[in-house]
Structure 1
Amino acid sequence: MLPREKLDPLPDSFILQPPVFYPVIPYVTTIFGGLRAGKMVMLEGVVPTDARRFQVDFQCGCSLQPQPDIAIHFNPRFHTTKPHAICNTLQSGHWMAEARWPGLPLQRGTGFLILFLFGDEEVKVSVNGQHFLCYPYRLPLSRVDTLGVFGDIFVKAIGFLNINPFEEGEREYPVGYPFLLKCPRLEVPCSRALLRGLWPGQVIIVRGLLLPEPKDFTLSLRDESAHAPVTLRASFTDRTLAWISPWGRKTLILAPFLFYPHRFFEVLLLCQEGGLKLALNGQGLGAISLCQEALERLRELRISGSVQLFCVHY
Structure 2
Amino acid sequence: MGPTSPVDFILQPPVFHPVLPYITTIFGGLTHGKMVLVQGVVLAEAERFQVDFQCGCSVMPRPDIAIHFNPRFRSRPHVICNTLQNGRWLEETKFPHLPLKRGEAFQLLFLFGQDEVQPFDASRTEYPVAHPMQLNSSKLAVPYCHPLPRGLASRDTITVRGLVCPVPEGFSLSLREDPSHVPLRLSTCFRTRALMWSSFPDEALSHAEKVAACFPFHPQRFFELLLVCEEGSFKLALNGIPLGQYDTPWLSWDRITELWIEGDVTLYSVLS
Normalization by structure 2: what TM-score?
Answer: 0.60
In structure 1, how many angstroms separate the alpha carbons of the residues matched to 2:231 and 2:172? Answer: 24
8 Å CA contact 1:230–1:243 kept in 2: the answer is yes
Say if 1:217 and 1:305, in contact at 8 Å, map to a contact too: yes
Q: Secondary structure at the match of 2:182?
A: coil
Corresponding residue to 1:242 among 196, 220, 223 = 196
For residues 5-43 of structure 1, what are the alpha-carbon distances to aligned partners after superposition, in whole Å with 9 as ceiling and x for unaligned? xxxxxxxxx98435426778xx52579xxxxx9888854
Q: 1:285 and 2:243 equivalent?
A: yes
Contact 1:15 1:258 in 2 (8 A): no
Stretch of structure 1 that moved more, 206-215 or 292-301: 292-301
Structure number with greater CO (CA < 8 Å, separation at least 6) is 1
Partner of 2:129: 153
Which has the higher mean CA deviation after the structures are superposed, 288-297 or 260-269?
288-297
Going from structure 1 to structure 2, the CA distance change for 1:217 and 1:29 (only over 3 Å counts) comes to farther
1:255 deviation in Å?
Answer: 3.4
1:105-135 deviation digits (Å, cap 9, x = unpaired): 97xxxx73289xxxxxxxxxx9729xxxxxx
Residue 156 of structure 1 aligns to a residue whose secondary structure is coil
Provide the C-alpha distance between the structure 1 equivalents of 2:76 and 2:85, rounded to a whole number of angstroms: 15
Q: Could you give the per-residue CA deviations for residues 216-241 of structure 1, whole angstroms, max 9, x where no partner exists?
A: 11001011363122200110011010
Give the distance between the partners of 2:253 and 2:109, measured in 1 at CA: 42
Corresponding residue of 1:227: 181
Among residues 202, 206, 210, which one is paired with 2:160 in the alignment? 206
CA RMSD of aligned residues (A): 4.0
Structure 2: distance between partners of 1:15 and 1:204: 23
User: In structure 1, what is the Cα distance between the partners aligned to 2:63 and 2:228?
Assistant: 22
Contact persistence 2:58–2:239 (CA under 8 A)? no
Paired position in structure 1 for 2:138: 184
User: What is the CA–CA distance in structure 1 between the aligned matches of 2:256 and 2:38, rounded to whole Å?
Assistant: 41
Structure 2 counterpart of 1:259: 217
Q: Distance in 2 between matches of 1:229 and 1:190?
A: 18
| Aligned partner (choices 30, 37, 49) of residue 20 of structure 1 | 30
Task: For residues 272-296 of structure 1, give each alpha carbon's deviation from its aligned partner in whole angstroms, at most 9, with x where no partner exists.
Answer: 2222110111111111222486111
Tell me the alpha carbon deviations over residues 76-125 of structure 1, each in whole angstroms, 9 at most, x when there is no partner: xxxxxxxxxx1xxxxxxxxxxx33589x997xxxx73289xxxxxxxxxx
d(CA) in 2 for partners of 1:38 and 1:268? 8
Unaligned 5+ residue runs, structure 1?
1-13, 32-36, 46-54, 57-73, 76-85, 87-97, 116-125, 130-137, 140-144, 158-178
Shift of 1:194: 0.6
Matches within 5 A, 1:130-141: none
TM-score by length of 1: 0.53
1:44 corresponds in structure 2 to 66
Report sequence identity in percent: 32
Q: Whole-Å Cα distance in 2 between the matches of residues 296 and 274 of structure 1? A: 12
| CA–CA separation in structure 1 for the residues paired with 2:153 and 2:244 | 18
- 2 CA distance for matches of 1:260 and 1:253? 16
Aligned residue for 2:252, secondary structure, equals: helix
1:44-76 per-residue CA deviation (whole Å, 9 max, x = no partner) reads 36xxxxxxxxx83xxxxxxxxxxxxxxxxx22x
Match of 2:89 in 1: 128
Structure 2 unpaired stretches of 5+: 1-22, 40-56, 91-101, 111-118, 121-126
